[in-house]
Copies of this chain bind each other. A is one copy, B any other.
Amino acid sequence: MKIAVAGLGYWGPNLVRNFLATEGVDQVLCCDTNAQRLESVKRRFYGVETMNSFDDMLKRSDVDAVVLATPVSTHHPLGMKALRAGKHLLVEKPLTLKTSHADELVQCADKGNLRLMVDHTFVYTSAVRTIKMSLEKGDIGDVLYFDSVRVNLGLFQHDTNVIWDLAPHDISIMDYLLARAPLAVSAVGSKHFNDREDMAYITVLFPDNVIAHFHVNWISPVKIRKILIGGTKLMVVYDDMEPSEKIKMYDKGVDIKGKDSIYQVLVQYRTGNMWAPNVPQTEALMLMAREFIDSIKEGRKPLSDGVSGFNVVRVLEAADRSLKAGGKRISLSDEVTQDELDQVPVPGMTLPATA
């Protein structure tokens, strides 16, 4: 199989390195308009071929799949071209800047019976997959909330705000783990140094009073990457800054012991053991590359497919809209229409609990 990686800036070379090491990949073709980058990639990786024209590359019948590591704004036009040229497609996160664009890519891939995949790298970490397995086995029970903090003194991006820069990671993790359709999204943020938000809080509402919340921040003195997941059976802390023991599962929670009256539930605490499953140190990017190749070979949808890419973009877009609209809730579901969210809610209505 021949893979073409387009865009050899910061991230592209990592993809080249991983595809070179992936079984089933015979050749990696590197494509960039910048001659210096092509030269550097040639020096660094033994035996790669280089091209400076994306269109010419697409014409090559021996190229099976295209990997886009180009700026986000190009994902849609270049991705459409690649799919129309009959190439399988892997796109860096986020898939696009607009939900409608993501939708077009998904439709186009479906029509051509091509694989469309997004590089939601975190979904391929041992940590996230271990949590997913526990969820699927029912160990964690029903998820009550998902709370994520991703803050540090970050590189200011000139062409995007902190939501589009940092939140894709956490929203893709949420989408993968919860695997539920959200009802509504709201966000609030603040800009201090230029006209892009450098910190923001995003809230995603789900049926059954399930709530997800994200703190993303470029101006924090300390680096925090922590996700709390409250389940009815277990509670999980995923701390990505821990060198080992990234995941801790707590046999802690609240047990309902019946009601002592119509209005009052008897609530009792449970404080049991904690355990930290052994999380093997495999490179997520390598697993992601392998999944792309395997999904092509096996003619099946990859794990982080176009739809998951669409889901993430949809939440990001709504969060950004809410941010710019004074924090109001944006509907993502027919179950709670925008009209219903806009009118002054009836007292007592905190969260849509449709389920």
Could you tell me if A235 and B220 are in contact, using CB atoms closer than 8 angstroms?
Answer: yes
A254: Cβ under 8 A from any B Cβ: yes
A203-B188 contact, Cβ under 8 Å, with A274-B275, A345-B328: yes
Q: A289 in the interface, Cβ–Cβ < 8 Å?
A: no
Q: Is the CB of A350 within 8 A of B188?
A: yes
| Cα–Cα distance between A179 and B325 once the two chains are bound (Å) | 28
- Tell me the dominant secondary structure on chain A's binding face: strand
What are the residues of chain B within 8 A of A192 when measuring CB–CB?
144, 209, 254
Bound-complex Cα distance A264 to B273 (A) = 40
CB nearest neighbor in B for A239: B222
Determine whether A314 belongs to the interface, using a CB cutoff of 8 Å to chain B. no
| Most chain B CB inside 10 Å of its own CB: which residue of A47, A199, A347 | A199
Contacts of A325 in B (CB 8 A): 344-345, 347, 349
Chain A 7-63 interface residues, beta-carbon cutoff 8 Å to B = 42-44, 46-47
A248-277, CB under 8 A of B: which get 1 and which 0? Answer: 101111101000000111010101111111
> Contact string, A68-89, partner B, CB cutoff 8 A, digits 1/0?
0000000000000000000000
Q: Which bucket holds chain A's interface residue count?
A: 35 or more
Out of B156, B195, B235, B275, which one reaches A276, CB within 8 Å? Answer: B275
Copies of this protein chain in the complex: 4
Decide: A236 and B221 in contact? CB cutoff 8 A. Answer: yes
User: Per-residue CB proximity of A223-250 to B under 8 Å, as 1/0?
Assistant: 1000010100001110001011100101
- Contact status B273-A276, CB under 8 Å: yes
**Which B residues are CB-close (under 8 A) to A158?**
264
A324 close to B (CB within 8 Å):
yes
Given known pairs A145-B190, A153-B271, A193-B267, the reply for A323 and B350 (CB within 8 Å) is yes
- Which chain B residues border A273 with CB–CB below 8 Å? 275-278
**B190 touching A350 by the CB < 8 A rule?**
yes
CB of A300 closer than 8 Å to a CB of B: no
Of the A-B pairs whose beta carbons lie under 8 Å apart in the complex, a sample of 10, sorted by A's number, is A153-B254, A193-B265, A219-B235, A220-B235, A221-B230, A221-B250, A222-B237, A274-B275, A327-B329, A328-B328
Report the 8 A-B pairs with minimum CB-CB distance, sorted nearest first.
A326-B345, A221-B235, A221-B250, A275-B275, A194-B265, A43-B46, A274-B276, A190-B211
